[in-house]
Amino acid sequence: MSSLTSLTAARLAALIRTGEVSSEEVTRAHLDQIAAVDDRVHAFLHVDTDRALEVARRVDAKRRAGAPLGPLAGVPVAVKDLFAYVGAPTTCGSRMLENWCPPYNAAVTERVLAADMVILGKTNLDEFAMGSSTETSAFGPTHNPWDLARVPGGSGGGSAAALAALEAPVALGSDTGGSIRQPAAVTGTVGIKPTYGGVSRYGAVAMASSLDQPGPCARTVLDAALLHQVIGGYDPRDATSIDAPVPDVVAAAQSPDVAGMKIGVVKEFGGEGFEPGVERRFHEAVAALAGAGAEIVEVSCPYFPLALGAYYLIMPSEVSSNMARFDAMRYGRRVGDDGTRSVEDVMRASRGAGFGAEVKRRIILGTYALSSGYYDAYYGSAQKVRTLIIQDFRAAFSTVDVLMSPSTPTTAIRIGEPLTDLMAGYKADLCTIPSNLAGIPAGSFPAGLSDNGLPVGVQVMAPVLADDRVYRVGSALEALLEPRFAPLTKEAR
């Protein structure tokens, strides 16, 4: 039944609900696919085989007993390894937390479990989500199923690659500067960053608290919406959670109608630094939407080019503080505690050994940016730019319904490339960062292949709490553009 792994989550849920297949069969098919391909892809850091099958059997029993089942009951899901899940390690891709098992569940973990979904395991990521390639993971990079010599993007490369390699139908991600959307773009999958506060951050190990946002990853727009509905909504444990109903993303994902919609194309995101094949696919996608009745206008967002700089001050500032708790005193990897050293020395040795280069780089950058005497020039200025970007969005959304841009300037780069060219790695998030700074919802959708045969993603951005507009345009794109599958996927089909 290996074809089960190529079905959508929506279809699998329907088959399970009617009893045509069992959740156990579906789960086993995905576990088999993981066993078959993950030594090459390395999407997973931990496969929770026994518990996944146990949960699947429980869902099957529930169905047989006639108990009511949620819309994704029995469907497997892969979980980015920064969401706390009791009974499994939550490593964040770091040596620091190599053996750390949280005593509590993240809100999103709780919600997928409560929805009777089956957690397959934990997926790879850049260390503490800091990176755009999954190469900063202490446990080795994830490989892009389209070309195993290339990165799957990051930080959520594990979740995106698992989808592209048919190891899971849907996955959980988190997006601080593009960590859901950028991997989706370079793996030909769908990734949505909801409105900030739309999905609870409780139990998601923080990178930059004011930017982090958990969200759904999937191969289809409807699957992303179904998962979004499961994990979305108010949670009093997250003070930044929005106490408002989740926008009807599932209905929007089934409404591929953009006639009369006003779509703005961000003028600033194109040209130099953008791969021609990416730009061509983007313009074709926009043209297809125009052909379907959408009104296309070019919109200037003059402060967007400053977003990357502001991001690389605000994000590391918060990182420097969020990473402080990892001092090896209460949990995590402890080094050099031979009974003769002071607390400070043990903390220093443990942090030195536990954190990788990218984490240290950001801690140093952020510590500097927040230092007295530099605060106003760096953190303070960056916050001002953040306000200007919010104003850019506000002005744009006063004239258009959504904004569009390529999701990334290029297709997937080769493993090893971003680490030798730091700025190239940082620029992978050029187009995705503004929506994090403004807290607005945005998604990346597949738009065919570039000249090099690698997938291209296009980004749709909408105003705060208008997540449904992102899905509506996404579903139109899905209907208008020919779907493509990774070679590894074809092999598996």
Partner 1 sequence: MSRDELLEFDEVVAAFDPVIGLEVHVELATLTKMFCACSTRFGAAPNSQVCPVCLGLPGSLPQVNGQAVESSIRIGLALGCSIATWCRFSRKNYFYPDMTKNYQVSQYDEPLCYDGSVEVDVDGELITVPIERAHMEEDAGKSVHVGSLTGRIEGAEYSLMDYNRGGVPLVEIVTKPVLGTGAGAPAVARAYVATLRDIVRALGVSDVRMEQGSLRCDANVSLMAKGTTTLGTRTETKNLNSLKSIEKAVRYEMCRQGAILAAGGRIKQETRHWHEDGSYTAAGRSKEEAEDYRYFPEPDLVPVAPSREWVEALRATIPAPPRERLAALREQWGFAEPEMRDVAAADAVDLVAATIAAGAAPQAARKWWMSELMRRANAAGLGLADLAITPAAVAQVQGLIDEGRLNDKVAREVIDAVLAGEGTPREIVDARGLAVILDTSALQAAVDAQIAGHPDVAERIRAGKTQAVGVLIGAVMKQLGGQADAASVRALILATLEG
- Among 133, 137, 155, 444, which one carries the catalytic annotation? 155
Q: Which of residues 213-242 bind partner 1 (CB under 8 A)?
A: 236-240
Answer for which of 20, 61, 104, 377 binds partner 1 (CB under 8 A) is: 104
- Among 80, 122, 133, 407, which one carries the catalytic annotation? 80
Answer for which of 343, 357, 395, 479 binds partner 1 (CB under 8 A) is: 343
Q: Count CA within 13 A, CB hemisphere, residue 166.
A: 24
Please confirm, yes or no, whether 80 is among the known catalytic residues. Answer: yes
Whichever of 3 and 104 has its CB closer to partner 1, that residue is 104
Whichever of 97 and 222 has its CB closer to partner 1, that residue is 97
Please confirm, yes or no, whether 155 is among the known catalytic residues. Answer: yes
Answer whether 446's CB lies under 8 Å from 282's CB: no
The number of residues that bind partner 1 (CB under 8 A) is 45
Q: At its nearest, how many Å lie between partner 1 and the CB of residue 128?
A: 9
Answer for which of 65, 344, 423, 482 binds partner 1 (CB under 8 A) is: 344
Answer whether 296's CB lies under 8 Å from 290's CB: yes
Whichever of 5 and 320 has its CB closer to partner 1, that residue is 320
Whichever of 254 and 367 has its CB closer to partner 1, that residue is 367
CB atoms within 10 A of CB 432: 31
Whichever of 8 and 322 has its CB closer to partner 1, that residue is 322
Answer for which of 6, 89, 331, 452 binds partner 1 (CB under 8 A) is: 331
CA distance readout (Å), 219 to 24, 68, 250, 304, 322: 21, 26, 15, 29, 32
SS3 category, 405: strand
Q: Which of residues 106-135 bind partner 1 (CB under 8 A)?
A: 106
Answer for which of 58, 62, 98, 210 binds partner 1 (CB under 8 A) is: 210
Does position 367 interact with partner 1 (CB under 8 A)? The reply is: yes
Answer for which of 58, 100, 295, 452 binds partner 1 (CB under 8 A) is: 100
Q: Which of residues 369-388 bind partner 1 (CB under 8 A)?
A: 370-372, 375, 379
Q: Which of residues 471-490 bind partner 1 (CB under 8 A)?
A: none
- From 14-22, 60-68, 100-108, 353-361, give the range in contact with partner 1 by CB under 8 A: 100-108
Whichever of 338 and 482 has its CB closer to partner 1, that residue is 338
Q: At its nearest, how many Å lie between partner 1 and the CB of residue 324?
A: 4
Q: At its nearest, how many Å lie between partner 1 and the CB of residue 88?
A: 14
Q: Which of residues 168-207 bind partner 1 (CB under 8 A)?
A: 201-206
Q: At its nearest, how many Å lie between partner 1 and the CB of residue 80?
A: 12
| Spatial CA neighbour of 54 closest among 32, 73, 28, 84 | 28
Q: At its nearest, how many Å lie between partner 1 and the CB of residue 107?
A: 9
Does position 324 interact with partner 1 (CB under 8 A)? The reply is: yes
Answer for which of 160, 163, 208, 430 binds partner 1 (CB under 8 A) is: 208
Q: At its nearest, how many Å lie between partner 1 and the CB of residue 62?
A: 29
Q: At its nearest, how many Å lie between partner 1 and the CB of residue 204?
A: 6
Does position 414 interact with partner 1 (CB under 8 A)? The reply is: no
Answer for which of 136, 195, 317, 435 binds partner 1 (CB under 8 A) is: 317
Q: What is the 3-state secondary structure (H, E, C) of the chain?
A: CHHHHHCCHHHHHHHHHHCCCCHHHHHHHHHHHHHHHHHHHCCEEEECHHHHHHHHHHHHHHHHCCCCCCCCCCCEEEEECCECCCCCCCCCCCHHHCCCCCCCCCHHHHHHHHCCCEEEEEECCCHHHCCCCCCCCCCCCCCECCECCECCCCCCHHHHHHHHCCCCCEEEEEECCCCCHHHHHHHCCEEEECCCCCECCCCECCCCCCCCEEEEEECCHHHHHHHHHHHECCCCCCCCCCCCCCCCHHHHHCCCCCCCCEEEEECCCCCCCCCHHHHHHHHHHHHHHHHCCCEEEEECCCCHHHHHHHHHHHHHHHHHHHHHHCCCCCCCCCCCCCCCCCHHHHHHHHHHHHCCHHHHHHHHHHHHHHCCCCCHHHHHHHHHHHHHHHHHHHHHHCCCCEEEEECCCCCCCECCHHHHCHHHHHHCCCCCHHHHHHCCCEEEEEEEECCCCCEEEEEEECCCCCHHHHHHHHHHHHHHCCCCCCHHHHHHC
Q: Which residue has the tokens 């961000």?
A: 266
Answer for which of 4, 45, 97, 454 binds partner 1 (CB under 8 A) is: 97
Contact string (CB under 8 A) for partner 1, positions 63-82, x = contact: -------------------x
**Buried-exposed string 94-108: b where 16+ CB fall within 10 A, e elsewhere:** bbbbbebebeebbbb
- Among 23, 174, 179, 435, which one carries the catalytic annotation? 179
- From 73-81, 323-331, 449-457, 480-488, give the range in contact with partner 1 by CB under 8 A: 323-331
Does position 312 interact with partner 1 (CB under 8 A)? The reply is: no
Answer whether 412's CB lies under 8 Å from 275's CB: no
Q: At its nearest, how many Å lie between partner 1 and the CB of residue 17?
A: 32
Residues forming the site for partner 1 (CB under 8 A): 82-84, 90, 92, 97, 100, 102-104, 106, 201-206, 208-210, 236-240, 317-318, 320-321, 324-327, 329-331, 343-344, 347, 367, 370-372, 375, 379
Provide the annotated active-site residues.
Answer: 80, 155, 179
